[in-house]
Amino acid sequence: MFAQTTPLKLDSAHDLHAALFNAMTDGVLVVNRQGLIIDCNPAFHRRLGYRKDELTGRSVTTLDPPEFAAQVPRRLAEIEQQGQATFETAHYRKDGSVMPVELNARSFQVGSELVFFSVVRDISERKEMETRLHEGIETYEAAVNTTTLGFWMVDMDGCFLEVNAAYLKLSGYSRDEFLRLRIPDIEALEQPAETARHIAQIIRDGSDRFRSEHRRQDGSRWPVEVVTSFSRVQGGRFFVFIEDISERVVQEHRLQLAARVFDTMDQAVVVTDASNRIVSINPAAVRITGYTFDEVRGKDPSIFASGRHDRAFYDAMWASLHASRHWEGEIWDRRKDGTLYAKWLGINAIHDSQGALYQYVSVFSDITERKKTEELVWRQANFDALTGLPNRHLFYERLEQEIKKAGRTRQGIAVLFIDLDRFKEVNDSLGHAKGDALLAQAAGRIGAKVRESDTVARLGGDEFTVVLPNFGDRANLERIARELIMTLAEPYELGDDDRGYISASIGITLFPDDADNLDGLLKHADQAMYVAKAEGRNRFGYFTATMQREAREKAALAKDLRQALGRGELEVYYQPIVDMTDEVIVKAEALLRWYHPERGLVSPMVFIPLAEELGLIHEIGQWVFGQALAAVARWRDMHDRIIQVSVNRSPIQFEKPNQPCCTDELRRFDLPGHSITVEITEGSLLSQSKHIEQQLLEFRNAGIEVSIDDFGTGFSALSYLRRFDIDYLKIDRSFISDLAEDDANTALTEAIIVMAHKLGIQTIAEGVETERQRDLLRQFGCDYAQGYLYAPALQMDAFEQLLGAA
């Protein structure tokens, strides 16, 4: 076959062998038993860089690096023994470099000599490949095992074939555990179907980079970024690098949050660079300033300035920013539309880590509304809503200022205390709305009579004050007071054809003559006003020394009154009330007396108002009530009948709810409710106190009757009589005393009696002193009478004598 394809013309077998020997691409080496080179072919010596003659006769050991040279005798023996052997060794080239070779050696008997015939193959390339492969694997393993990234190798089925230490550490799995798992076991975000689709896509694209979440061994999830590539080696492999991005996700969230806060916060934020050019503003800033970001980008924030603040203001701001890196304060700026607004601004100078100025961050909010509210609150705290005048608070402040000023300038101040006369009646009859309208008009009239520099204030209710600094002389002051009285007495148009008629009483006090302090001035002006009222209203009066003395006396009396009850100085007198048909005593009015240890008998007209003022009336009233019940019980036991006792009840007593229950008292004496009548004034009914209705109901439920005292002197609103279920009207003494002389009063008295009867209410005439009065009253059909004609208020035993005599 060989002869056919390569027709060589050779003479002998020897020639053939020699030709083959020389043409072989593998080296051939022949050595004898001593290891001496007998022969070699060109492929051998050329590859080593020798000529043939340089090698023949040499020991092969001279060709080998020492570690191989040492093996030569053992190798030869091995070949001799086994007939052939294949092994790797190396030869030096002539240039000293080493050529790795694979030797396939056989031993032959040539004549008497044993020769070794080796085919020598240059394996440098293979060796290099091997080394490189080896190194490659090492590098790969080093990379995979030293990286902090997780690494897997995964097969086409998603089974893990390899995992590195980093991933095991991150996921908490042991290596054995993990290599039993597949991707769907640790993928926490994708559904298995999604994962399958994803894998298919990676196979198509060759690689992918994506975010997901993995499940740790303990079940917790962690965010990862995955870089994977696909290779078709070994039937398909995925090489996957996994990065733990927990930190990054937290950072990202933080940034997102910061961005969201920036975008959604109510407060405006303007950021400028080191040269104070705007680099960023948030939506709140856009909203407040009216500028868009594009309109202010790169501009100086002075674009927002209103021009309201001077150079010094901004200089101070910058000085603070430089010194403390911060400034905070209120500032007026102008919106794009030109409107002014107040803002509370905080500026921080931000420095980088090297301490160089980096940015200014300004944060502000629009406080215009708040300032308006503050202003409103201030107005509400200092001004009277109804009249727009300064209120008590501001009045005190102004008066205090004037006193200080006057102390310096040695000028006088007049304080006028104005109280409208009978204002309450206008209020009660026309309603609060019209009462308010009247007050507002009165305030206007007072203001019109004084100078700008004078203070007019409303202290509350129908009380006004005027402070007149440098009022000039007395004549001028009195002219003002008279004008005030005149103007306030003019009719008030209150709408719906309603007119209000009132007058005013004015008390005047002077600084520093009457008092040198605020409290003293006010107290004295008040006292002077009361005196003006007592002297007939519609007038003014100065504070006097007498007033001061009286005020002092009142204070002393008040002190004594506090102790009167405890000291047994109070006593209840009883004034009989007779049935007009037969003049038999059927009732009595309990009237209180105070025996003062030094002053003697003090009139209830004096001490009852004082007790009301001091709040003692509750205790005293309760005591009188108990005394009255005791008297009724006593007389019942003596005469076997009920003599009903009227007990006066002050309007003040209705103001205090939750008083001791009257039914308990009645039960204590085993008395029926009608043993007592409670006398109340019309004023009590009109007071509109929520307590009065409830307490009157309580009386009625207990069977206690109710009388209207001094009927006709107040504002007699008939509707109230029906509403409150009144039992008796006590016609005031002023009507009775005028009977006969005054036709109008006579007619009124008769009308009251008729009207009362129509409403099912009985009448009691007070202060009946003459027989003529009695006869007229009887003629009008009055039911009961009380007065000196029968008896004055009597001490218990005197009253009882009268009872016994009847």
709 binds ligand C2E (CB under 6 A): yes
Rounded to an integer, what distance in angstroms lies between the CA atom of residue 136 and that of residue 139? Answer: 5
Find the part of the chain contacting ligand C2E (CB under 6 A) among 51-59, 279-287, 598-606, 711-719.
598-606
Choice between 590 and 803, CB closer to Mg ion: 590
CA distances to 48, 54, 63, 98 from 93, rounded to whole Å, are 4, 12, 8, 6
- Tallying the residues shown for the chain, one arrives at 806
Residues 6+ apart with CB under 8 A from 616: 561, 562, 565
| ω into 184 cis (within 30 of 0) | no
Least Å distance between CB 448 and Mg ion? Answer: 42
DSSP state of 390: B
Helices 617-639 and 604-614: angle between axes, nearest 10 degrees: 130
Choice between 477 and 761, CB closer to Mg ion: 761
Find the part of the chain contacting ligand C2E (CB under 6 A) among 14-22, 68-76, 96-104, 604-612.
604-612
710 binds Mg ion (CB under 5 A): yes
Angle (nearest 5°) at CA 723 between 611 and 754: 95
Rounded to an integer, what distance in angstroms lies between the CA atom of residue 426 and that of residue 446? Answer: 19
Q: What is the DSSP string of 199-252?
A: HHHHHHHSEEEEEEEEE-TTS-EEEEEEEEEEE-GGG-EEEEEEEE-HHHHHHH
650 is in the binding site of which of Mg ion, ligand C2E, none (Cβ under 5 to 8 A by kind)?
ligand C2E
Neighbours of 525 (CB within 10 A): 26
709 binds Mg ion (CB under 5 A): yes
49 binds ligand C2E (CB under 6 A): no
648 binds ligand C2E (CB under 6 A): yes
600 binds ligand C2E (CB under 6 A): no
Choice between 198 and 774, CB closer to ligand C2E: 774
Rounded to an integer, what distance in angstroms lies between the CA atom of residue 642 and that of residue 360? Answer: 93
Choice between 514 and 679, CB closer to ligand C2E: 679
Neighbours of 276 (CB within 10 A): 14
Rounded to an integer, what distance in angstroms lies between the CA atom of residue 533 and that of residue 525? Answer: 12
576 binds ligand C2E (CB under 6 A): no
Reported in sequence order, the residue ranges of 275-356 that DSSP labels E, i.e. its strands, are: 278-281, 326-334, 340-351
Least Å distance between CB 445 and ligand C2E? Answer: 35
Least Å distance between CB 581 and ligand C2E? Answer: 20
Least Å distance between CB 772 and Mg ion? Answer: 21
651 binds ligand C2E (CB under 6 A): no
Question: Residue 670 — left, alpha, or beta (φ > 0 → left; ψ -120 to 50 → alpha)?
Answer: left
707 is in the binding site of which of Mg ion, ligand C2E, none (Cβ under 5 to 8 A by kind)?
none
Choice between 178 and 711, CB closer to Mg ion: 711
Choice between 289 and 786, CB closer to ligand C2E: 786
**Total interface residues for ligand C2E by CB under 6 A:** 24
Residue from 364, 710, 726, 753 touching ligand C2E (CB under 6 A): that is: 710
Q: Which two tokens stand for residue 432?
A: 């609060």
Rounded to an integer, what distance in angstroms lies between the CA atom of residue 163 and that of residue 169? Answer: 11
Rounded to an integer, what distance in angstroms lies between the CA atom of residue 463 and that of residue 456? Answer: 11
Residue from 163, 269, 591, 678 touching ligand C2E (CB under 6 A): that is: 591
Find the part of the chain contacting ligand C2E (CB under 6 A) among 26-34, 168-176, 419-427, 784-792.
784-792
Q: H or E element: which one contains 737?
A: helix 733-738
Residue from 421, 679, 705, 783 touching Mg ion (CB under 5 A): that is: 679
Least Å distance between CB 590 and Mg ion? Answer: 9
605 binds ligand C2E (CB under 6 A): yes
Find the part of the chain contacting ligand C2E (CB under 6 A) among 64-72, 384-392, 642-650, 773-781.
642-650
Phi, psi torsion values for 19, nearest 5 degrees: -65, -45
- The half-sphere exposure of 452 on its side-chain side, counting CA atoms within 13 A, is 0
Q: Compute the radius of gyration of the chain from its Cα atoms.
A: 61
Q: Which two tokens stand for residue 358?
A: 């980096």
454 binds Mg ion (CB under 5 A): no
Show contacts with ligand C2E in window 722-781 (CB under 6 A).
Answer: 733, 766-767, 769
Nearest residue to 335 via CA among 309, 376, 371, 306: 306
Residue from 443, 561, 624, 777 touching ligand C2E (CB under 6 A): that is: 624
Least Å distance between CB 742 and ligand C2E? Answer: 17
Choice between 444 and 604, CB closer to ligand C2E: 604
3-state class of 116 per DSSP? strand
Least Å distance between CB 654 and ligand C2E? Answer: 11
Residue from 285, 442, 610, 793 touching ligand C2E (CB under 6 A): that is: 793
Least Å distance between CB 609 and ligand C2E? Answer: 9
Residue from 650, 675, 677, 749 touching ligand C2E (CB under 6 A): that is: 650
681 binds Mg ion (CB under 5 A): no
695 binds ligand C2E (CB under 6 A): no
Q: Which two tokens stand for residue 169?
A: 């550490």
**Total interface residues for Mg ion by CB under 5 A:** 5
242 is in the binding site of which of Mg ion, ligand C2E, none (Cβ under 5 to 8 A by kind)?
none
3-state SS string for 286-308:
HHHHCCCHHHHCCCCHHHHECCC
695 is in the binding site of which of ligand C2E, Mg ion, none (Cβ under 5 to 8 A by kind)?
none
Least Å distance between CB 747 and ligand C2E? Answer: 22
Find the part of the chain contacting ligand C2E (CB under 6 A) among 40-48, 326-334, 458-466, 786-794.
786-794
Residue linked to tokens 């950021």? 271
648 binds Mg ion (CB under 5 A): yes
3-state class of 670 per DSSP? coil
Find the part of the chain contacting ligand C2E (CB under 6 A) among 162-170, 228-236, 506-514, 586-594.
586-594
591 is in the binding site of which of ligand C2E, Mg ion, none (Cβ under 5 to 8 A by kind)?
ligand C2E
Site string for Mg ion, 745-784 (x = CB under 5 A): ---------------------x------------------
Rounded to an integer, what distance in angstroms lies between the CA atom of residue 751 and that of residue 634? Answer: 38
Least Å distance between CB 781 and ligand C2E? Answer: 20
Residue from 170, 443, 588, 608 touching ligand C2E (CB under 6 A): that is: 608
Q: Which two tokens stand for residue 342?
A: 């107040």
Rounded to an integer, what distance in angstroms lies between the CA atom of residue 340 and that of residue 454? Answer: 34
- On the 0-12 / 13-18 / 19+ scale of CB atoms within 10 A, 748 is middle
User: Interface with Mg ion by CB under 5 A: which residues?
Assistant: 648, 679, 709-710, 766
User: Interface with ligand C2E by CB under 6 A: which residues?
Assistant: 575, 590-592, 603-605, 608, 621, 624, 648-650, 679, 709-710, 733, 766-767, 769, 786-788, 793
